[in-house]
């Protein structure tokens, strides 16, 4: 009996493990905000891929060699949507990774993941941030220098990123990006809309206040004009009264002279 030739089993690289994308709502919001902000930063730059919470496979033929960076950016990859990231199909080395840590993940973030990012994925910059400040350090960054991670020093309370050309720091207790050239904070679109609305409201308030000040100035000018007119009238009245008094005095003098002459 001829033996049947069996096809080699097809390797499956899962797209999800069924677990939540992040531990808490704060982690989720920050993850999405940072992806949106960085993606908007490079929207006009071709072949810069920004994503996060995606399975990243780093050894062909071994689906167990996988991790899921919370936020990452890589040059040399198109902006088209990817369901998984395979380093043998895409750019094998990443430029930027941000992990949002917690007490249950920080050991892995500081050890296993740090080693993979440094030695296998050659991530140029790796940042770890705990939104709740429950771990120490709660915010730290590493930069690849001659194949080895060196800790990034804080500048004015922020960590400068050479790959982004910006700085990572907290604004009102939330991790955001800061542009040291324009001295402006960058955040998700909703914050820019809110800030625009605030500025519009402030401008409207300022315009109303300026209009009120102009109206008050106009009222003051009219009152000053009225006081000047009243003062002018008083001066004119006093001058008229003085002339009448002088005329009356002259008449009295003339009458006195006539009396003296008749005597």
> Could you tell me the two tokens for 105?
């993940």
Choose the weakest-confidence range: 41-45, 155-159, 214-218: 214-218
Q: Return the pLDDT at 229.
A: 74
Give SS3 for 78. coil
> Could you tell me the two tokens for 17?
């493990």
Tally of CA atoms within 13 A in the half-sphere of 213 that contains its CB: 6
Q: Return the pLDDT at 240.
A: 77
What would the pLDDT profile of 77-133 be if each residue is shown by its tens digit? 999 999 999 999 999 999 999 999 999 999 999 999 999 999 999 999 999 999 999
Task: Pick from 180-189, 197-206, 236-245 the range whose average pLDDT is largest.
Answer: 180-189
CATH number of 25-186: 3.90.1570.10
pTM of the model: 0.71
What would the pLDDT profile of 183-201 be if each residue is shown by its tens digit? 999 999 887 654 544 454 5
List the beta strands (DSSP E) in 146-241: 148-151, 159-161, 166-171, 174-179, 184-186
Residue 210 pLDDT greater than 70, yes or no: no
Within 10 A of 239 (CB to CB), how many other CB atoms are there? 10
Q: Return the pLDDT at 198.
A: 47
């Amino acid at each position: 009996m001829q033996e049947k030739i069996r096809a080699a089993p097809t390797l499956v690289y899962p797209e999800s493990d069924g677990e939540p994308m992040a531990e808490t709502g704060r982690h989720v919001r920050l993850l999405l905000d940072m992806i949106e902000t960085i993606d908007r930063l490079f929207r006009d730059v071709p072949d810069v891929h920004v994503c996060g919470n995606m399975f990243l496979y780093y050894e062909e033929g071994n689906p167990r060699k996988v991790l899921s960076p919370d936020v990452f950016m890589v040059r040399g990859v198109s902006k088209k949507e990817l369901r998984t990231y395979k380093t043998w199909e895409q750019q094998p080395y990443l430029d930027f990774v941000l992990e949002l840590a917690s007490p249950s993940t920080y050991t892995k973030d500081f050890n296993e993941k740090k080693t993979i990012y440094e030695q296998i994925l050659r991530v140029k910059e790796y940042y770890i941030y705990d939104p709740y400040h429950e771990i120490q350090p709660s915010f730290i960054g590493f930069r690849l220098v001659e194949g080895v991670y060196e800790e990034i020093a804080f500048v004015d309370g922020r960590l400068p990123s050479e790959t982004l050309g910006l700085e990572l720091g907290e604004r009102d207790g939330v991790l955001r990006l800061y542009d040291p050239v324009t001295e402006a904070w960058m955040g998700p679109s909703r914050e820019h809309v809110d800030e625009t609305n605030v500025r519009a409201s402030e401008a409207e308030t300022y315009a109303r206040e300026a209009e009120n000040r102009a109206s008050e100035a106009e009222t003051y000018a009219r009152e000053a004009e009225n006081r000047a007119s009243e003062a002018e009238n008083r001066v004119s009245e006093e001058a008229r009264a003085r002339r009448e008094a002088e005329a009356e005095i002259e008449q009295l003098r003339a009458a006195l002279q006539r009396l003296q002459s008749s005597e």
